[in-house]
Amino acid sequence: MVQWDHPSRNIIGGLNERVIRSRSTSLAVFAHSAFVASFEPHDVGHALSNPNWVNAMHEELENFERNRVWVLVEPPPHCNPIGTKWVFKNKQGEDGVVVRNKARLLVQGFCQKEGIDYEETFAPIARLEAIRILLAFAASKGFKLFQMDVKSAFLNGFIEEEIYVRQPPGFEHPRFPNRVFKLQKALFGLKQAPQAWYERLRKFLVDQGFQMGSVDKTLFLFRHGKDLLVVQIYVDDIIFGGSSHALCSKFSEQMSREFEMSMMGELQFFLGL
Angle at 44 (CA atoms; ends 42, 47), nearest 5 degrees = 75
Residue 85 in domain? yes
pLDDT-based confidence at residue 34 (cuts at 50, 70, 90): low
What pLDDT score was predicted for residue 249? Answer: 92
Residue 3 in domain? no
Whole-number average pLDDT of the chain: 84
**pLDDT tens, 197-250?**
999 999 999 999 999 998 899 999 999 999 999 999 998 889 999 999 999 999
**pLDDT tens, 65-103?**
988 999 999 999 888 899 999 999 988 877 778 888 999
Give the integer Cα–Cα distance in Å for 51 and 151. Answer: 22
3-state SS, one letter per residue, for 103-152: EEEEECHHHCCECCCECCCCCCCCCHHHHHHHHHHHHHHCCEEEEEEECC
Least confident of 34-43, 73-82, 134-143, 186-195: 34-43
**What is the extent of the structural domain holding 182?**
18-266
Residue 273 in domain? no
Residue 181 in domain? yes
Share of the chain above pLDDT 70, in %: 88
Mean pLDDT of 37-56: 91
What pLDDT score was predicted for residue 94? Answer: 73
What pLDDT score was predicted for residue 147? Answer: 92
Least confident of 100-109, 242-251, 253-262, 263-272: 263-272
Q: Buried b / exposed e across 37-52, counting CB within 10 Å, b at 16+?
A: beeebeebeebbeeeb
pLDDT-based confidence at residue 7 (cuts at 50, 70, 90): low
Question: What pTM, to 2 d.p., does this model score?
Answer: 0.70
* Cα 52 → chain centroid: 19
**pLDDT tens, 187-200?**
888 999 999 999 99
Residue 73 in domain? yes
Residue 6 in domain? no
What pLDDT score was predicted for residue 219? Answer: 95
**Does pLDDT of 6 surpass 60?**
no
pLDDT-based confidence at residue 260 (cuts at 50, 70, 90): confident
**Does pLDDT of 12 surpass 70?**
no
Q: Other C-beta atoms within 10 Å of 55: how many?
A: 14
Instruction: Answer with the residue of higher pLDDT: 269 or 146.
Output: 146
Residue 158 in domain? yes
Residue 178 in domain? yes
Q: Other C-beta atoms within 10 Å of 90: how many?
A: 17
Mean pLDDT of 43-52: 92
How many separate domains does the chain show?
1
What pLDDT score was predicted for residue 113? Answer: 80
Strands 237-242 and 144-150, sheet pairing: antiparallel
